[in-house]
Structure 1
């Protein structure tokens, strides 16, 4: 007797596969990746609608966190959101300042809550990440002080900045906001962390200016004061350094990658020294010593000559030579010609800008500059 052939048992397998497919097409269970990301984004948005109470003294506006990614962490009740903080200082910033952030959230009772907010890995901190912030407001200035800065120091810096703004406006007739924001960190190391560079890059400097160059939406410029370097300056030195940095803010929209550094730095010094009784030999001691030794510069200062953290005497000669070049242009061809040269150099080749404003080329300007160095620094 032949064995009876039984049909293969495929029906349960088909049903199992069909069930799996139908389950895959159905709604995702609560707590899935999509649901978590949506809920985390909503929690960050709700949390960021109010400026933190600790920053209430700072005139912040347009404060918002834009989440770019969400990562579930740990046991599922923790999440990390990568975000971009955007804000403006009311009355000072016409375009938002940005900051890369990492927001930590925890889930409690089924709802996500922000537990911590910090700079994203590798991103520089904001001033308030370093501790309490104090505020001093001037007529043309807003000064934000980091942890440990006294109210008296901030008021003095605001008063000096209020004098620097009209000085910059007198030298630069082009359009600019006519007001400035200054950050005064608690220490040189805190300043370096804000700017994302080693402290040695700023040691001995009184202040620096941040901001992107070029036209378009006005950048959120900041003058960052080195509390150690600034404290070591006398009254005249403080006046010069803030007028110099504020002039960088004033000329920012006219400055581009094609603007020679000797022109941008020299113009800022020219604006700062404009009207002062300081002689070239007094204001350019490093270059004066070199000229007296017979070491006359063979060319206008190069970009690399201004590098932070290098030979301080070489950097001093570069700044002094740049100032004396702009001083020469203003004296020989007129202040308007110097301003026009600055404006043209931001969008034209330097030789073209020189011919159109001064009627000389780079070689002709260099020769005139060298002659003035021999005469004024001997």
Structure 2
């Protein structure tokens, strides 16, 4: 599901309690208060050719810190979602910067697709995206040194119908985390770290409880079933994807709670720097956390067993 070689990262649309209600029409926000992007904005040029065949385009300019500015783009039928995401962007950007650090653009192009075909075109895949994917981030190849270009977050056409405003905001943070970390993330890095960290950043400080974030894992824990190991890369697609994302989130949350967020970020930077195997993961874990892989998994499983509710 995540093909970093082509710069694509996806987020599943799972439906825990915090995400279930449908979003309502946005309130206390308007194009005028948020700022309409000019038609010649160069960021619009990156998506205009793809989007125009699917109907008229609306855009909202979202001022950020200092001179940064984000842009939310979609079609008139998704006006409520556009305004929700525009209001979520400043807080999401600030939260990710607080966790990851300031060494990223601290702005984003966020797009809502009108149809599955447009969704696939915006993330540059050859076929329609799997129906469980609610959002994806994509970047052009590295053309300016080590800095990816053309980065954007794309939401599926039904994301707003399937998720609450809180759910949309959580998905936005997940994908913005991938964008923030893109320049330090290599193809083939372990998905349990990449997706776990993005999920940790997505839920951080949003008041979601363990059983709400990881209902599949929680249900297994209540029967006494623990994962035997960290989820392999192949488990992040198909029927095992939901449990794998939850397990990956729990591994990052475990690191943040037992150690601290600084070491969680350092662990990400080290593990994401290159393709890993069990031996190299063991080495990095020892260097960052002072514990080998086998003991790390055992401690994580012990922490998990105490979380069931």
Is TM-score (shorter-chain normalized) higher than 0.5?
yes
Residues 51 and 57, structure 2, Cα contact 8 Å, conserved in 1: yes
Residues 133 and 145, structure 1, Cα contact 8 Å, conserved in 2: yes
Residues 85 and 169, structure 2, Cα contact 8 Å, conserved in 1: no
Mapped partners of 1:133, 1:151: distance in 2: 10
1:182-331 mapped onto 2 (5 Å cutoff): 182-195=110-123, 196-199=125-128, 201=130, 203-211=131-139, 216-307=146-237, 310-311=238-239, 314-331=240-257
- Structure number with the bigger relative contact order (C-alpha 8 A, sep ≥ 6) is 2
TM-score w.r.t. structure 2 length? 0.76
Deviations 1:118-164 (A, max 9, x none): xxxxxxx7223434322111124201214x43444423221122221
Mapped partners of 2:38, 2:261: distance in 1: 44
Residues 281 and 377, structure 1, Cα contact 8 Å, conserved in 2: yes
Q: How many residues align?
A: 260
Please tell me the root mean square deviation across aligned C-alpha atoms, in Å. 2.6
Please state how far the C-alpha of 1:185 moved relative to its aligned partner. Answer: 1.4
**Which has more strand, going by share of residues?**
1
Structure 1 pair 157/278, CA: closer, same or farther in 2 (3 Å)?
closer
Among residues 335, 338, 353, which one is paired with 2:284 in the alignment? 353
Unpaired runs of 5+ residues, structure 2, are 1-36, 65-69, 275-279
1:78-227 mapped onto 2 (5 Å cutoff): 89=43, 126-140=50-64, 141-146=70-75, 148-173=76-101, 175-195=103-123, 196-199=125-128, 201=130, 203-211=131-139, 216-227=146-157
Deviations 1:270-320 (A, max 9, x none): 11211233221221001111222333111101111111xx21xx2111111
Residue matched to 1:42: none
Mapped partners of 2:88, 2:177: distance in 1: 14
Residues 180 and 222, structure 1, Cα contact 8 Å, conserved in 2: yes
Residue matched to 2:258: 332
Mapped partners of 2:84, 2:169: distance in 1: 11
Please state how far the C-alpha of 1:229 moved relative to its aligned partner. Answer: 2.2
**Which has more helix, going by share of residues?**
2
SS in 1 for 2:291: coil
Mapped partners of 2:89, 2:139: distance in 1: 18
SS in 1 for 2:169: helix
The ranges of structure 1 where at least 4 consecutive aligned residues each deviate by more than 6 angstroms after the TM superposition are: none
Please state how far the C-alpha of 1:325 moved relative to its aligned partner. Answer: 0.3
Residues 187 and 227, structure 1, Cα contact 8 Å, conserved in 2: yes
Structure 1 pair 277/58, CA: closer, same or farther in 2 (3 Å)?
same
Mapped partners of 1:268, 1:58: distance in 2: 33
2:305 matches 1:374: yes
Residues 111 and 152, structure 2, Cα contact 8 Å, conserved in 1: yes
Mapped partners of 2:53, 2:38: distance in 1: 15
Give the number of the structure whose alpha-carbon radius of gyration is greater: 1
